[in-house]
Chains A and B, each alone.
Chain A
Amino acid sequence: MLALSDVNTYYDNSHILHDVSLQVKSGETVALLGRNGVGKTTTMRTIMGLTPARRGRIRFKDKDIERWKPYQIARAGIGFVPEERWIFPTLTVHQNLLIGLKSEPYASNQGLEPWSLEKCYDTFPSLKKRQFAKGGTLSGGEQQMLTIARTLVGNPELILIDEPTEGLAPKIVDVVAEVIQTIARQGISVLLVEQKLSIALELADRIYVISKGMIQWHGTPEQLRSSEEVRKSYLEV
Chain B
Amino acid sequence: MRRSRFTWLPILLIIALLLILPKLVSEYRLNLVITMMIYSIFALSYNMLFGQGGLLSFGHAAYFGFGAYATVILIKHFSLSLPMGILIGGLAGAFLGVTFGVFVVRMRGVSFALLTLAFNQLIYVTAEKWRTVTGGEDGIAFMRPNLHLGGWEIDLWATLNWYYFVLLVTVICIGCLWYLTLTPLGRLNLCMRENEERASFIGFNTYASRLLIYTLAGFFAGVAGGLAAAFQEFVTTTFINLDKATDVLMMTFIGGGGTFFGPVIGACALTLVNDLLSSWIERWAIVQGGLFILLVLYAPNGLSGIYLSLREQWDKRKRGEQPS
A132 within 8 Å of B (CB atoms): yes
> Which residue of chain A is the closest to B204 with respect to CB atoms?
A71
Contact stretch, chosen from A25-33, A100-108, A222-230: A100-108
Contact across chains for A70 and B187 when beta carbons are under 8 A apart = no
Contact across chains for B190 and A91 when beta carbons are under 8 A apart = yes
Question: Looking at A71, A86, A103, A151, which has the most chain B CB atoms within 10 Å of its CB?
Answer: A71
Complexed CA–CA distance, A71 and B205 (Å): 6
Complexed CA–CA distance, A154 and B203 (Å): 9
B155 within 8 Å of A (CB atoms): no
Q: Out of B1, B197, B202, name the residue touching A99 (CB < 8 Å).
A: B202
B187 contact set on A, CB distance < 8 A: 91, 95, 98-99
Chain A: number of interface residues, binned into ranges: 20 to 34
Contact across chains for A70 and B200 when beta carbons are under 8 A apart = yes
Complexed CA–CA distance, A48 and B199 (Å): 13
Q: Whole-angstrom distance from the CB of B182 to the nearest CB of chain A?
A: 11
B4 contact set on A, CB distance < 8 A: 132
A188-204, CB < 8 A from B: none
Complexed CA–CA distance, A71 and B204 (Å): 5
Chain B: number of interface residues, binned into ranges: 10 to 19
Contact across chains for A71 and B190 when beta carbons are under 8 A apart = no
Contact across chains for A71 and B194 when beta carbons are under 8 A apart = no
Interface contacts (Cβ under 8 Å), in number, total 58
Q: Mark A170-199, 1 if CB is under 8 A from B, else 0.
A: 000000000000000000000000000000
B184 within 8 Å of A (CB atoms): yes
> Which residue of chain A is the closest to B1 with respect to CB atoms?
A90
B7 contact set on A, CB distance < 8 A: none
A49 contact set on B, CB distance < 8 A: 201
Contact across chains for A90 and B190 when beta carbons are under 8 A apart = yes
Complexed CA–CA distance, A86 and B199 (Å): 10
A89 within 8 Å of B (CB atoms): yes
Q: Mark B253-294, 1 if CB is under 8 A from A, else 0.
A: 000000000000000000000000000000000000000000
Q: Mark B150-184, 1 if CB is under 8 A from A, else 0.
A: 00000000000000000000000000000000001
B195 contact set on A, CB distance < 8 A: 86, 88
Q: Out of B184, B191, B201, name the residue touching A71 (CB < 8 Å).
A: B201
B316 within 8 Å of A (CB atoms): no
A98 contact set on B, CB distance < 8 A: 184, 187
Complexed CA–CA distance, A91 and B52 (Å): 12
Contact across chains for B194 and A70 when beta carbons are under 8 A apart = no
B189-214, CB < 8 A from A: 190-191, 194-195, 197-206
Q: Mark A66-93, 1 if CB is under 8 A from B, else 0.
A: 0001110111000010100010111100
A90 contact set on B, CB distance < 8 A: 1, 190, 194
A88 and B204 in contact (CB under 8 A), knowing A99-B188, A103-B184?
Answer: no
Contact across chains for A88 and B191 when beta carbons are under 8 A apart = yes
Question: Looking at B184, B195, B197, B203, which has the most chain A CB atoms within 10 Å of its CB?
Answer: B203
A50 within 8 Å of B (CB atoms): yes
Complexed CA–CA distance, A88 and B206 (Å): 15
A106 and B205 in contact (CB under 8 A), knowing A88-B194, A91-B191?
Answer: no
Q: List 20 A-B contacts (CB under 8 A).
A: A50-B200, A69-B200, A69-B205, A70-B197, A70-B201, A71-B200, A71-B202, A73-B201, A74-B202, A80-B201, A86-B197, A86-B198, A88-B194, A88-B195, A89-B194, A91-B191, A99-B191, A99-B199, A99-B202, A151-B202
Residues on B lying within 8 angstroms of A by beta carbon are 1, 4, 184, 187-188, 190-191, 194-195, 197-206
Give the 10 A-B residue pairs with the shortest CB-CB distance, closest first: A74-B203, A70-B200, A86-B198, A70-B201, A75-B203, A80-B201, A71-B205, A71-B200, A71-B203, A88-B191
